Chains A and B, each alone.
Chain A
Amino acid sequence: MAFMSSFEKGMEKVLVPIATKLNSQRHIVAIRDAFILSFPITMAGSLVLLLNFAILAPDGFIAKILFLHKLFPSLAEYQSVFIPVINGSTNILSMFIVFLVARNIAIELKADDLLSGITALSTFFIIYPPYQNVDGASLLTAQWLGAQGLFVALIVGLLVGEIFSRLSKSEKLQIKMPASVPPAVARTFKVLFPIIIITILFAIANAIINAVYPAGLHQLIYTVLQTPLKQLGTSSVWSIIILAFVSNLLWIFGIHGPNTIAAIREAMFTEANLENLNYVAANGSAWGAPYEISWAINDAFANYGGSGMTLGLLIAVFIVSRRKDYRDIGKLSLAPGLFNINEPIIFGLPVVLNPILIIPFVLAPIVNILIGWSAIHFGLIPPIAYSVPWTTPGPLIAFLGTGGNWLALVIGFVCLAVSTLIYLPFVMAANKAADVVQK
């Protein structure tokens, strides 16, 4: 106990300041919040695609259950109606991100956030590969608007957000209009010079980079930064295990783990998630999706009940706990736990700062990540390609994330059973410890 106490104090002194810094550093927060704000768009796109294939495709799991294709033989023809949804979500994600990052920076620096975001979007296209003439038509490649352009979007958003916010505060650069001028007009003139300066700066930078590296800035950033970071995330299951370990360890010490690792997690896995989604949009199936390793594995197999796989803890409490307080907290925590919200049990038992429960809280998700990844790696189930809301009950995330693969659902239940088994002896030990303390 003395060890635990000094460990807690060490965590408090070392980890809390780091987590606080990470969660309040404006560039990290701007990136994190940009992904959070764009999440509903990508999620909506993913869900529409999932429903599209599940209901309208002949081999879709809902279509099979309800015999839809026997009832409506021409149903598959309507799949094309919903395919363009991906063009309005993941395929233009970089445009959302560049706008939102610059906007978030401007909010933090108390500048004009809307015009900061618009300026960043404008700048993104200043450095974009030029129009190409094909058969008399001017065409702009869509290659860098989606997942592959994410890092350029992040960098441009950060730079423009910073430069715009600082320049727009300079009195010398502000054009002040008479009071009779409408506010919207006065607002735009106030930041006109900063926008002109940013536009010129990025046009010159773009010309220089194109002269040195003819493939262009997007290709350069993609090759030098985005690809290595993506490979760091997707080339080995250990990347997920380490991030999950850190996130859950922070959580048990009262630090918001998922928030703290959000920026690095998004940087490492977003492109892989989007590429998988694009694959299912093009092929109608998660089988053969390009990235078997992505953060989606954690959500699909190792986050039932919330961080620490606490749905397994709840079941273990119901199985072996003789203490009324444990069972009462378990009953209170079950409904939110089914939807992966675990505050009631985290603070109720409590799990936080609990020296006995820390081991299964960190261990169970790691074991489940390995189970889920093994099932994908050995071809038992396809990769988790569809994005599914994190509040979806437990094994259903694996089922829906694979496009309705029944074995994925079974493996999800296996993961739940394994996590329950891992928690069982620790719940018994926690019960005994609580009995001793009570006596």
Chain B
Amino acid sequence: MNQHKIRIMAGQIKFLHDFFNMYEDAQIKVNVEQLNKVDMYIVVETALTEDETVRYVKEIFKKTPHGAALSYAIQLA
């Protein structure tokens, strides 16, 4: 299993934090490492590669009701 550290940046970071905090599915398990005013760092346990993980994290949030409404950036930390 890989562990990737990812930085998520957003003005409305609370909504992304609410979604990703303790998030777990068949592909990834997320732990929020640090939450700041406009960004947060998460550690993702997964079998995916780094790039695949970033893409996957973006995709699952995009599918939520807030996914198209908020502006955010997700990248490897």
Q: Is the CB of A260 within 8 A of B37?
A: no
Q: Is the CB of A347 within 8 A of B69?
A: no
Nearest to A12 among chain B residues (CB) is: B12
Question: Does any Cβ of B come within 8 Å of A359's Cβ?
Answer: no
Question: Does any Cβ of A come within 8 Å of B76's Cβ?
Answer: no
Task: Indicate whether A254 sits within 8 Å of B68 (C-beta atoms), given known contacts A343-B73, A350-B38, A352-B38.
Answer: no
Nearest to B74 among chain A residues (CB) is: A343
Q: How far is the CA of A24 from the CA of B62 in the complex (A)?
A: 11
Question: Does any Cβ of B come within 8 Å of A91's Cβ?
Answer: no
**CB proximity to A under 8 Å, residues B62-76:** 65-73
Question: Does any Cβ of A come within 8 Å of B23's Cβ?
Answer: no
Question: Does any Cβ of B come within 8 Å of A22's Cβ?
Answer: yes
Q: Is the CB of A16 within 8 A of B15?
A: yes
Q: Is the CB of A256 within 8 A of B68?
A: yes
Residue picked from A29, A256, A347, most chain B C-beta under 10 Å: A347
Q: Is the CB of A20 within 8 A of B65?
A: yes
Task: Indicate whether A256 sits within 8 Å of B14 (C-beta atoms), given known contacts A347-B9, A352-B38, A353-B37.
Answer: no
Encode contact with B along A90-111: 1 for CB under 8 Å, 0 otherwise. 0000000000000000000000
B9 neighbours in A (Cβ, 8 Å): 343, 347, 350
Size class of B's contact patch?
Answer: 10 to 19
Size class of A's contact patch?
Answer: 20 to 34
Task: Indicate whether A16 sits within 8 Å of B66 (C-beta atoms), given known contacts A347-B39, A350-B38.
Answer: yes
Q: Knowing that A253-B12, A254-B13, A254-B38 are A-B contacts, what are 16 other residue pairs whose CB atoms are under 8 Å apart, sorted by A's residue number?
A: A12-B14, A19-B69, A20-B69, A20-B70, A29-B68, A254-B10, A254-B11, A256-B71, A259-B69, A346-B71, A347-B38, A347-B39, A347-B73, A352-B10, A352-B11, A353-B11
Q: A258 to chain B: closest CB distance in Å? A: 9
Task: Indicate whether A255 sits within 8 Å of B69 (C-beta atoms), given known contacts A12-B14, A16-B15, A352-B11.
Answer: yes
Q: How far is the CA of A350 from the CA of B72 in the complex (A)?
A: 12
**CB proximity to A under 8 Å, residues B1-29:** 9-15
Nearest to A20 among chain B residues (CB) is: B69
Task: Indicate whether A256 sits within 8 Å of B38 (C-beta atoms), given known contacts A12-B12, A16-B15, A347-B9.
Answer: no
22 contacts between A and B (CB under 8 A): A12-B14, A19-B69, A19-B70, A20-B66, A20-B69, A22-B69, A23-B65, A24-B69, A29-B68, A253-B11, A254-B11, A254-B38, A254-B70, A255-B12, A256-B68, A256-B70, A347-B9, A350-B38, A352-B10, A352-B11, A353-B11, A353-B37
B10 neighbours in A (Cβ, 8 Å): 254, 347, 352
Question: Does any Cβ of B come within 8 Å of A252's Cβ?
Answer: yes
Q: B54 to chain A: closest CB distance in Å? A: 14
